[in-house]
Amino acid sequence: MRLITYKTTTIAIVLILFWVILKFPTWNKENIEPVQIIDWSNVKDDPNEHLEFELIMPGDAVDSPDALLNEDAYAKRLLEEHFNVTLNYKMVDPATYERKAALVKASGFIHDVLIEETSMLKSSVKHGFIVPIPFEVICKYAPSYARIVQEWGNYGWQGSVVDGVNYGIPLIIADARYPKVGIWRKDWLHAIGFDRVPDSMEEYEKVFKLFKTSKPDAKSFLLAFGHELDAEQQQKVLDESNPVWAMSGDVINWRAGMFTEIFGAFNVQPFNWVLRDGEIAWGGTQEGSRKAVELLHSWYKAGFIHPDFVTDEWMGEVLSKLYAGVTGYLAHWSLYSELHPQGERVQTMGRLQRNRDRELLLRLGKSKLEADSLLENQSQRYVNLWSPATVPRGPDGYRGHRLYGAVGGFSGGYYAFGNTVIEKPQKVLRWLRMMETIMNDENLLINISMGKENLHWEWRDSELGPEPVGKEPFGTMSYKRNAEGLGWSLWHQEYGYLVQVPMKEFIVKRYFPPGKIEFRKRFTPSEWGDECLFGDTESNAPNHISSLIKRMNLYQQTKLTEFIVGDLDISEWDNYVREYNMLGGDEILIGMQQYYKEILETADRVNSNISIFEHKSL
């Protein structure tokens, strides 16, 4: 047999290759020069030197055509004239931003200014895409911005620190504490004889039982149209009414706010880090969580919770169940605009309920004309079908819900500067100056977030006092504003769109409807709200901890769901806690304590810098 056949030659080549790889591990490691460190001391930002910026950022909804940034967008032109810069934006749709940004970088094209999450930022550092920005420089050129970060979320700084060197500027949106307000079907409550919103766990249970048994949807329909129907038709409405549940939920985004008011009633939040007498503690394994889960299980068994709550998505199936009259209660709202009578959600609820009533009337034999006239004189029914829930009181008197708060509107986002700025470091200083100036120039800030008065928005009187309202009818969130470089919704655009700088408290008060301020005061009192110690940014924790946290959160989600659904009996709670800690809970706790210490240290470092430049402010 010939010795040198194709097979033997290929195997030989492969072996040689492996030998070479293993033999010379450090073949050419020395001659790679480290990333040059910028010597910030002699970098000057000369205002009349024109600078050009390449930027990439997640647009609001790049998918619809009218959201693409126009060449001469109002806010863009304003910023360019004001700061003698040219801004070339590359907008990427938010859903695929992370993946696409990674691939764009992988292909070697680096933007001057990028928006990066912690995990992306860390890998960018490893590949040398972004340059370090010492805290001193930030505090020197943007002291008031730095102070706002300290005030609202000083835990943000640590997220962009890699091996002691800082690479990013935390993004802040105004008052970042979003409440998880609930709403009830007002007509259902009325149909079962409740004229006010239930305010305690016992009342919740009573209402849910009535929802379950007494066909509230059919009854509320009969209350409105009963007198027009004969007995037999009325019976038909009752018999044919679909089964009803109290509420649904979405386990996948449990962390973002499912059942938070139920857990809050037991003074605990399952996915929050809290300070318990000086020590960091994880909510998921607290005694309060056990009680809440036990209660939720009894509700599930009683049929109050829709079985789909395991796989539904909050913005999708959960919401459409509420619209379709399948569920009667939902606690997931966080914006004033979402519950405002003229808001699109409430209007949609009315429209859909009207359609359903119309279909039912037609099916009961009414003619089109009759149905429409009946609906007409009952139009008051569809104005506002929701009434905001209070934060219910628990058996031991606690109230609370999770404040979905985060540093930076992009849940842990940071401005970072690509290595392209190495030749012109003054770009960084120019950008910091822009942020600082906009922060303190109210008129400029309003113009680049809400737009020009009487052009993009105007003052209008409403029963709650003067309100800045967009040109289109109230609350429509059209993407045409994006094309002008402005935030897509006037209603909660409390930060610049092209340059993410937050509005200070007094600006928000002056420019936003009093109802909104009142709403926020009513639902975010500190004693009710239980804000996570790390905001939503524990993914900024050191790498091995954050992947472990992700996995343990999934584990906790599955276990808590099994408890609620009944696959796991509540008596198993103790070995669930033991298992949780053994599998990762303890390791995470140690990691987070260490991380918390680092956060405090970094915050102090920034504090010291601010104080240095405080009295020397520009």
Q: Which residues in the 37-66 window bind other proteins by CB under 8 A?
A: 61-65
For the chain, the first-to-last Cα distance in angstroms comes to 86
Q: Residue 176 has which token pair?
A: 């970042």
> In which residue are the tokens 């059209």 written?
478
Chain positions 472 to 491 lying near other proteins, rule: CB under 8 A, are: 476-479
The one among 8, 88, 348, 575 contacting other proteins by CB under 8 A:
348
The one among 13, 37, 95, 383 contacting other proteins by CB under 8 A:
95
In this structure, how many other beta carbons lie within 10 angstroms of the beta carbon of residue 230? 10
Q: How far is the CB of 394 from other proteins (least distance, A)?
A: 28
Q: Residue 253 has which token pair?
A: 């985004």
The one among 43, 302, 352, 603 contacting other proteins by CB under 8 A:
352
Contact indicator for 117, 410 with CB cutoff of 8 Å? yes
The one among 276, 351, 460, 578 contacting other proteins by CB under 8 A:
351
Residue 92 or 139 having the CB closest to other proteins: 92
Contact indicator for 534, 273 with CB cutoff of 8 Å? yes
Alpha helix stretches (DSSP H) within 378-524: 426-440, 442-449, 480-483, 505-511, 514-523
The one among 36, 41, 107, 443 contacting other proteins by CB under 8 A:
107
Residue 186 or 345 having the CB closest to other proteins: 345
- Contact map string, positions 205 to 244, toward other proteins, x by CB under 8 A: -------------------------------------x--
- Contact map string, positions 388 to 427, toward other proteins, x by CB under 8 A: -------------------------------x--------
The one among 200, 384, 390, 558 contacting other proteins by CB under 8 A:
558
Contact indicator for 552, 580 with CB cutoff of 8 Å? yes
Which neighbouring-strand residues pair with 273? Answer: 282
Q: How far is the CB of 388 from other proteins (least distance, A)?
A: 19
CA–CA separation, 573 vs 563, rounded Å? 8
Side-chain-side CA neighbours of 416 within 13 Å: the count stands at 34
Which neighbouring-strand residues pair with 113? Answer: 55, 417
Q: How far is the CB of 57 from other proteins (least distance, A)?
A: 15
Chain positions 128 to 187 lying near other proteins, rule: CB under 8 A, are: 128-129
The one among 111, 114, 124, 269 contacting other proteins by CB under 8 A:
124
CA–CA separation, 499 vs 393, rounded Å? 42
Chain positions 297 to 336 lying near other proteins, rule: CB under 8 A, are: 306-308, 310-311, 313, 315-317, 319-321, 323-326
Q: How far is the CB of 208 from other proteins (least distance, A)?
A: 19
CA–CA separation, 124 vs 130, rounded Å? 6
Alpha carbon of residue 316 to chain centroid:
16
CA–CA separation, 322 vs 603, rounded Å? 44
Residue 110 or 148 having the CB closest to other proteins: 110
Contact indicator for 414, 160 with CB cutoff of 8 Å? yes
| Phi–psi pair at 513, nearest 5 degrees | -55, 140
Q: Is there binding between residue 115 and other proteins (CB under 8 A)?
A: no
> In the chain, what are the helix, strand and coil shares in percent, each to the nearest 5?
55, 15, 35
Q: How far is the CB of 190 from other proteins (least distance, A)?
A: 21
The one among 187, 338, 344, 538 contacting other proteins by CB under 8 A:
344
Chain positions 65 to 94 lying near other proteins, rule: CB under 8 A, are: 65, 92-93
Closest CA relative to residue 207, chosen from 223, 222, 186, 224: 186
The one among 2, 29, 44, 521 contacting other proteins by CB under 8 A:
29
Residue 61 or 483 having the CB closest to other proteins: 61
Where does this chain touch other proteins (CB under 8 A) — which range of 126-134, 228-236, 404-412, 440-448? 126-134
Contact indicator for 179, 257 with CB cutoff of 8 Å? no
Which neighbouring-strand residues pair with 162? Answer: 165
The one among 100, 236, 452, 471 contacting other proteins by CB under 8 A:
100
CA–CA separation, 307 vs 310, rounded Å? 7
Q: How far is the CB of 399 from other proteins (least distance, A)?
A: 30
